[in-house]
Amino acid sequence: MTMVVIQQELPVSLVPENITRLTPYAAGKPIEEVQKELGLADIVKLASNESPLGPSPKALEAIASIASKIAFYPDGLAPVLRAPIAAKLGVPEEYLIFGNGSDEILHLICETFITPGISGTVQADPSFAMYHIYATLADAKVTKVPLVNYTHDLEAIAGAVTAETKIVFIANPNNPTGTLVTQSEVDRYMARIPDHVITVFDEAYYDYVEHLEKPDLLPYVLAGRNVIICRTFSKAYGLAALRVGFAIARPEITDYLNRGRSPFNVNMVAQFAAAAAWADTDHLKNAVAINSAGKKQVYAALNKRGIPYVPSEANFVLIDVGRDSREVFDALLRQGVIVRAGAGLGLPQHIRVTIGKPEQNERFFSALDKVLDI
């Protein structure tokens, strides 16, 4: 029997106008897709800021130990993960909320606090694309403030806040530039920001920060300020595929977020793996050390070639290739190296490259030399 597929345009009336303005998020190309497209067997992926060290062996053991229980629903409050995180951070457990990646929490924040068509959000430009996407999904008015020297201009961001602003998103370190706003800059910002605004500090790359003035936002949360700190197990902890994130905020905020949270949003396997990873502090230290050494290797190679770049506090480096980033991306792809083209990130002549193991970094520069004819 032959199945006939009929394609018809959806009536415009079915789709709200704010949805029509969206462009889907373009993730880094998977290794399997490149292998299939180009027929290459040896691929190095340096596109999505994943940990080259991978997950803690203790996390893998936890996955095996819990596998027999996957017929049961997980506890959405994630007690196995909640208690150790609260204890280490020194916050009451009700200050925590968990998500299917920190992305889900960002989405939930917009759904919870934005009044469609009325509320506004403020963010830097360029920054993490999902702030704009989730705000637009909630039909918020999105204001973007240009970066200065690739860094958040917190003075200008505070100045862009209006009576309608509900949420300010600050990625710290910023994605895709890797730059940091320091404690003193944050303190000046918080002194200006009014009480009707929730500031979301997205600290996905927090564990990698080496700056001496690494901000500590917990005192603001504990003081009852409208601050939400988002963290993730996808980067330094090497659990990207399991999608585990969490946020820290005063309980009045987490209570409202929990009202709209899906009841079983973080799966049981992910919870137990993340709890084991959280406890394995040695593995985390190794991941951070590998990144620090790799960053120095990448800087030295770029300096040697005279290629401009943005010093990073994350696990990636933004590189100015001086030409169309899509062309460089495609050429590197044919060399078996996957990076992220800056064209889709608002930086048309840059590429963003994840810091890998020493041999992966060397492989990248070998391919880049051929592409740029160095």
What whole-number distance in Å separates Cα of residue 359 and Cα of residue 374? 19
Q: Does domain 25-54+282-372 have CATH number 3.90.1150.10?
A: yes
> How confident is the model over 92-116, as pLDDT tens digits?
999 999 999 999 999 999 999 999 9
Q: Which pLDDT score, from 0 to 100, does residue 5 have?
A: 77
Helix axes 358-372, 325-334, angle to 10 degrees: 120
The CATH 3.90.1150.10 domain(s) of the chain lie at 25-54+282-372
What whole-number distance in Å separates Cα of residue 335 and Cα of residue 31? 13
**Local confidence band at 323 (pLDDT 50, 70, 90 cut-offs):** very high
CATH number corresponding to 57-279: 3.40.640.10
**Local confidence band at 142 (pLDDT 50, 70, 90 cut-offs):** very high
> Does the pLDDT of residue 1 top 70, yes or no?
no
The CATH 3.40.640.10 domain(s) of the chain lie at 57-279
What whole-number distance in Å separates Cα of residue 106 and Cα of residue 122? 14
Q: Is the pTM of this model over 0.85?
A: yes
> How confident is the model over 14-43, as pLDDT tens digits?
888 888 887 877 777 777 877 777 777 788
Measured CA to CA in angstroms, residue 15 lies from 19, 108, 248 at distances of 7, 21, 34
Q: Which residues contact 76 (CB under 8 A, 6 or more apart)?
A: 98, 261, 262, 263, 264, 265, 266
